[in-house]
Structure 1
């Protein structure tokens, strides 16, 4: 078993600590910031209260995916976690829709924060040691601000990979101190390559791979980040129509391959193209990937051909349909 496999086991059964090398953090302040964000993304944002949060999706005018974001509402501001390669784009995107009468201020505060995850079955017990009062029974992104050894930390329920745990936001100047505290309590650091394997195996879609303007968030399995009851937002008509008329023609799945293939290799069934790969990784358990597959072709348990390789389709815990 490689060290990556060992680290993945820790992330599932024990307590793993992962420090994101970078994360986009956009801060919104002003009286209208919740309403403004509500109008720009797919989820029911304006009804959130301080210490609440959610996933939400940025889509373009035709309902195609720009990024999956996490919202944290506080008494003074809204913090928006976005993909690092999308931060500047989304800053410009949001600014484009700001009108002079909007009481909203945007600021890129990515350099001010470090984002950690502690994940694993024993992370809740560690949370109690840290003084966390929120627990896993509370909704995703429920959060609180606590002090750990004189360090102010915002801690939220949930991880970005569908494993139990917490997300922690701390000022960058105190990140190393917090990391040492968590390590001393028994959290085992996990490397980026192991985290990437977990991300793929759990099915967390990423920009430039699964989250692109070639696909909509329903295809990407992000139904939990979409409200079908809210009012108008950018791309809402397309999303509503796809849902009403069952127009989702492809879905994101995991795929395990019998041998290596090129990422551009089409997925076929009985000689007909039924899908395309978006990501591939070689792991101790074999070659795994993510793929969009036509809904009519089937889903979990389906056997397909990918060039010379045989592929077995499997479900992804992070996604909902």
Structure 2
């Protein structure tokens, strides 16, 4: 259980609408988690992989309704994601539309009573679901979800531009929840082994290298990269492991290790298992 509750501005979040009746079916054939039967107003995280099971993107899928998905990507990977989805869109009823003016803010921690008093309908919202809320004439999607390592989060998607994000941040501050700076959150992310796009979430690694098994449905139907992931898992052939180390312990003679992130004396390393 976390000892603090805070909010963070995810400035690198990037958003797409995927519209059309075949959107979920197409995305299900391109990613590791089962999204085909995702209900309206639900969120699920899935990983889009290439034929060699290398990561194209890890994204949150917000199902607005049967004709519209909101895909939450990252500025590091969004262009590649669009290109990959379009590559496999042949006769499917699926269209990608970039959204340049959406923003994401998340509350992380366990002390949420003040938030529930401020937004009463959120208390009864189950994890994996989201609600649509108007506050101070601004529109938001608010979901109970989680970070990529499984830590619970309350995610706000601000739908009316920077002004809606700025108003939200003021409202959260006014109920006594403080903001964690970009630098402080980077240290928190590293200590909690939360992979990040552009650092760990890149096409050099597969989901198992980053310990993202929880985002893979091993029982679902065929998707791009499935055979490789299944073989790596079944025969215990995963070559890499993601772990945290202290910067002072980094040795230039460390074999088979790449430092992908570092902050405040700590680092995320991805190492060849045979050298760990």
1:79 and 2:66 matched: no
Partner deviation per Cα, 1:156-195 (whole Å, 9 max, x = no partner): 1134264433010012142222222212111212211111
Partner deviation per Cα, 1:256-286 (whole Å, 9 max, x = no partner): 233676xxx452xxxxx253322222x2xxx
* Post-superposition offset of 1:21: 2.0
* Post-superposition offset of 1:135: 5.6
Separation (CA, whole Å) in 1 of partners of 2:248 and 2:164: 45
Answer yes or no: is the 8 Å Cα contact 1:15–1:186 preserved in 2.
no
Separation (CA, whole Å) in 1 of partners of 2:75 and 2:275: 34
Answer yes or no: is the 8 Å Cα contact 1:66–1:207 preserved in 2.
no
Mapping for residues 274-285 of structure 1, pairs under 5 Å: 274-281=256-263, 283=264
SS at 1:169's partner residue?
strand
1:169 and 2:147 matched: no
Number of the residue aligned with 1:294: 272
Separation (CA, whole Å) in 2 of partners of 1:274 and 1:23: 31
Number of the residue aligned with 1:31: 21
1:91 and 2:68 matched: no
Q: 1:153 aligns with which of 134, 140, 150?
A: 140
Q: 1:256 aligns with which of 236, 243, 246?
A: 246
Mapping for residues 163-242 of structure 1, pairs under 5 Å: 163-171=151-159, 172=161, 173-242=163-232
SS at 1:133's partner residue?
helix
1:133 and 2:122 matched: yes
SS at 1:74's partner residue?
strand
Answer yes or no: is the 8 Å Cα contact 1:134–1:144 preserved in 2.
no
Separation (CA, whole Å) in 2 of partners of 1:164 and 1:211: 20
Partner deviation per Cα, 1:3-39 (whole Å, 9 max, x = no partner): xxxxxxxx94343121222311111111111001111
Change (3 A) 1:260 1:297: closer
Q: TM-score under structure 2 normalisation?
A: 0.90
Separation (CA, whole Å) in 2 of partners of 1:266 and 1:39: 42
Partner deviation per Cα, 1:273-301 (whole Å, 9 max, x = no partner): 253322222x2xxx211112333555xxx
Answer yes or no: is the 8 Å Cα contact 2:7–2:107 preserved in 1.
yes
SS at 2:122's partner residue?
coil
SS at 1:112's partner residue?
coil
Separation (CA, whole Å) in 2 of partners of 1:19 and 1:278: 22
Answer yes or no: is the 8 Å Cα contact 1:153–1:170 preserved in 2.
yes
Partner deviation per Cα, 1:218-238 (whole Å, 9 max, x = no partner): 111111111111111111110
Change (3 A) 1:249 1:14: closer
Q: Is there any run of 5+ residues in structure 1 with no aligned partner, and where?
A: 1-10, 268-272, 299-321
Separation (CA, whole Å) in 1 of partners of 2:141 and 2:120: 12
* Post-superposition offset of 1:118: 1.2
RMSD: 2.2
* Post-superposition offset of 1:124: 5.1
SS at 1:43's partner residue?
coil
Separation (CA, whole Å) in 2 of partners of 1:280 and 1:252: 13
Separation (CA, whole Å) in 1 of partners of 2:187 and 2:35: 31
Separation (CA, whole Å) in 2 of partners of 1:276 and 1:21: 26
Q: How many residues are paired up? A: 272
Q: TM-score under structure 1 normalisation?
A: 0.78
